[in-house]
Structure 1
Amino acid sequence: MSVILGIDIGGSGIKGAPVDTRTGRLTAERHRIPTPEGAAPGDVKRVVAQLVEHFGLPGPVGVTFPGIVQRGHTLSAANVHPDWIGLDADSLFTDATGHDVHLINDADAAGLAEARFGAGQGETGTVLVLTFGTGIGSALIYGGTLVPNTELGHLWLRDKHAETWASDRARERDDLNWKQWSKRVSTYLQHLELLFSPDLFIIGGGVSKKAEKWQEHLQTERSRVVPAKLLNEAGIIGAAMMAAGSDPALAAVLDEPAASAPRKPRG
């Protein structure tokens, strides 16, 4: 069965939908529940359980998290409750839902989805997916394989912290027009070019819906730059892909390498 439930934990809402992981398409309308104030683990756990119950799908569940995820543990909590730090979140959600839950960083999930089904489809080289919103999320993909938890929004550009200076929140905070903001983003992209030499940058997050306002202003040395295609569905799709890819039998059916996303140890 290739239909897997994907759930995307965001700052204002937690969204879920079943995904056909063969095609990357949602098979039912998204269901959204507001993120509980403070986003404490116990409160978020209950919302995730509600979404699982709402759709009633069998099988594994993929869940995104806005922070570092390593072997199912959440290791950072920039925009959620500090109790997430060091938590075995895979087990928390698995126990709460009765399903085998697989956790992945939210930007990594969006990157997997864009690389396979979105703007990076067919790209065999190095792809950097960047999500511009409250901060800057990043996903590094090489040959279709994810290098997890890059957290490139936290790079420093001389005396500038990248996401504090060039995120969409920074654009609004500093009352920048799109051309002014694009100049900052161009500086950031050129720095990433020096470090990674990507063949392609994919610009996601909320700004991807307004590509006509910024795309012509971005300047890179050699990398192509395109807006993301999957928009608000990318995290849900990537979460479902993570859950599907963690199961070698299912991954074989989908013709997808089980190592395309980080796996948690079993037993």
Structure 2
Amino acid sequence: MSDTTQLRFGIDFGGTGIKGAAVDLTAGDFASERVKVDTPEESTPEAVLDIFRTMLADHPDITGPVGVTVPGIVRHGVVGLAPNIHPAWQGLDADEFLTRGLDRDVHVVNDADAAGLAEAAVGAAKGRSGVVLVTTLGTGIGTALLHDGVLVPNVELGHLEIDGRVAEKWASTKVRKSEGLTYEAWAKRLTVYYRTVERLFSPDLFVVGGGVSASHHKFLHLIDIDTEIVPATLQNRAGIVGAALLAEN
């Protein structure tokens, strides 16, 4: 059984679902079953806070700070542009609001940045120096930029415009499914995307995360770029793990 002093609770708050789990900071992975509930249609801060309270009440042994991801820009705990959740979040000091509402320290981070932190600390980018770009392919394209393991926050490279198209509206997992693209056709789009980012940042490594990384063998080898590209180790667990690590550190 894990030492509870080494456990922290991480919450991944998304536009469609809210997921939470206890994380073993030493192992860098889940120490409890993941809990998932649907994000309320009216995802106001108060409604989401109630869900967080329930999650934490179900894990009374997990004390200490809590990490929370948000699908939007986060600057010093204040939420910026976040189009997939209730507009009341925009401009809210979420660190202060959630800390007061949960009666414990809460630290909020962009969801892709949390995934990047996790992969750098305990995942596919652990021990890697230089410039690493962690990308999460899902509803959109989330990105986290790290230099020698240090995060540069709020790098929204899924919003790059390439040939007149916003990248994530042309090359995300959601688009692959909605357009019925084969993995080969999708990989051609991803090649265009990653080559563009490659030219702009000259990274040493790309890490590809999101739920689709579990199927990396179907498409990753088809992406034709010069930079090393590898699947994420933590897959869709990375947001929760990264949030918990951030809460501690």
Tell me which interval the TM-score lies in, with the shorter structure as reference length. over 0.9
Q: Which moved more, 1:14-23 or 1:227-236?
A: 14-23
Is the 1:15–1:31 Cα contact (8 Å) retained in structure 2?
yes
Once the 2 structures are TM-superposed, how far is the Cα of residue 14 of structure 1 from its aligned partner? 1.1
Deviation sequence 1:197-232 (CA, Å, 0-9, x none): 111111111210111110121011x21011111012
Is the 2:209–2:236 Cα contact (8 Å) retained in structure 1?
no
Q: Do residues 134 (structure 1) and 134 (structure 2) align?
A: no
Deviation sequence 1:142-178 (CA, Å, 0-9, x none): 1111000001101111211111111111112222111
- Unaligned runs of 5+ residues in structure 1 are 246-267
Deviation sequence 1:86-139 (CA, Å, 0-9, x none): 111111211111110000000000011011111112211211000111111000
Is the 1:49–1:93 Cα contact (8 Å) retained in structure 2?
no
Q: Do residues 98 (structure 1) and 107 (structure 2) align?
A: no
Name 1:16's counterpart in structure 2.
20
The counterpart of 1:216, out of the listed 209, 221, 238, is 221
Using the alignment, how far apart are the partners of 2:11 and 2:94 within structure 1?
Answer: 14
Is the 2:17–2:37 Cα contact (8 Å) retained in structure 1?
yes
Letter in 1 for 2:125: G
Structure 1 vs Structure 2 CA RMSD: 1.1
Percent of aligned pairs with the same amino acid: 48
TM-score (norm 1): 0.88
Once the 2 structures are TM-superposed, how far is the Cα of residue 26 of structure 1 from its aligned partner? 1.5
Name 1:244's counterpart in structure 2.
248
The counterpart of 1:197, out of the listed 195, 202, 211, is 202
Using the alignment, how far apart are the partners of 1:69 and 1:118 within structure 2?
Answer: 23
Q: Do residues 166 (structure 1) and 171 (structure 2) align?
A: yes
Using the alignment, how far apart are the partners of 2:81 and 2:209 within structure 1?
Answer: 22
Using the alignment, how far apart are the partners of 1:149 and 1:49 within structure 2?
Answer: 27
TM-score (norm 2): 0.95
Once the 2 structures are TM-superposed, how far is the Cα of residue 10 of structure 1 from its aligned partner? 2.0
Using the alignment, how far apart are the partners of 2:85 and 2:242 within structure 1?
Answer: 21
- Unaligned runs of 5+ residues in structure 2 are none
Name 2:129's counterpart in structure 1.
124
Letter in 2 for 1:223: T
Name 1:110's counterpart in structure 2.
115
Letter in 1 for 2:211: G
Is the 1:202–1:228 Cα contact (8 Å) retained in structure 2?
yes
Is the 1:45–1:92 Cα contact (8 Å) retained in structure 2?
no
Q: What SS class does the counterpart of residue 139 from structure 1 fall into? A: strand
Using the alignment, how far apart are the partners of 1:124 and 1:157 within structure 2?
Answer: 28
Is the 1:136–1:167 Cα contact (8 Å) retained in structure 2?
yes
Using the alignment, how far apart are the partners of 1:178 and 1:202 within structure 2?
Answer: 18
Using the alignment, how far apart are the partners of 2:235 and 2:27 within structure 1?
Answer: 16
Q: Do residues 46 (structure 1) and 83 (structure 2) align?
A: no
Equivalences, count: 244
Is the 1:6–1:240 Cα contact (8 Å) retained in structure 2?
yes
Using the alignment, how far apart are the partners of 2:37 and 2:59 within structure 1?
Answer: 13
**Aligned residue runs from structure 1 range 16-95, under 5 A:** 16-56=20-60, 57-95=62-100
Letter in 1 for 2:18: I
Is the 1:48–1:93 Cα contact (8 Å) retained in structure 2?
no
Once the 2 structures are TM-superposed, how far is the Cα of residue 244 of structure 1 from its aligned partner? 0.8
Is the 2:74–2:110 Cα contact (8 Å) retained in structure 1?
yes
Is the 1:5–1:240 Cα contact (8 Å) retained in structure 2?
yes
